[in-house]
Amino acid sequence: MDKRKELIVSAIENGTVIDHIPADKVFEVVKILGLDNYDGPIYFGTNLESKKYGRKGIIKINNRFFAPEDINKIALVAPTATLIEIKDFEVIKKHTVEVPDYVDNIVKCFNPNCVTNKERDIPTKFNVIKDENGVIKLRCHYCEKYTTEDNMTFI
């Protein structure tokens, strides 16, 4: 008997698919995008087989498209992710997220003494540094301290 090896998930008419998320980052992406409070249909899978990455995750969000600052959040957490925008069941745009050179006002500085944590009116600014191993660190524009992936807190 030939056994079925695929799980069929409904196509979305309009919205975004985030594919190739590292399997251990799916729930973090859900949280940073505020999808845990989203009213529309969301489909997700984790620990799915991937020829390219070994294991991956995927999120399908009906009737939701993302602003550049949200895409930057995804890139910081899941730099291998692919965004697929769908309208009328057709792919209209597909691209791999790009880790930005800098980010403003999306991550809190790790340093409790940073001016951005002491004063309310000062937005955070970071230079994004990706080392030879692909590890992402954020260097604060003000205090020059590094915020690593382990201690990133999204605003």
* Interval 19-71: pLDDT, tens: 999 999 999 999 999 999 999 999 999 998 878 778 999 999 999 999 999 99
Rounded to whole angstroms, the Cα distance separating 9 from 76 reads: 27
End-to-end distance of the chain based on CA atoms, in angstroms? 52
Rounded to whole angstroms, the Cα distance separating 73 from 21 reads: 13
Helix (H) or strand (E) holding 118: helix 115-118
Ordered structural domains, the chain, with CATH = 15-96 (3.30.70.140), 102-154 (2.30.30.20)
Q: What angle do CA 97, 30, 23 make, to 5 degrees?
A: 70
Token code pair at residue 109: 């500085």
> pTM of the predicted model, to two decimals?
0.88
**Structural contact between residues 116 and 142, judged by C-beta atoms closer than 8 angstroms:** yes
Q: Would you call 67 exposed, middle or buried from its count of C-beta atoms within 10 A (0-12, 13-18, 19+)?
A: exposed
**Structural contact between residues 32 and 154, judged by C-beta atoms closer than 8 angstroms:** yes
* Interval 83-142: pLDDT, tens: 999 999 999 999 999 999 999 999 999 999 999 999 989 999 999 998 888 889 999 999
pLDDT at 1 over 60: no
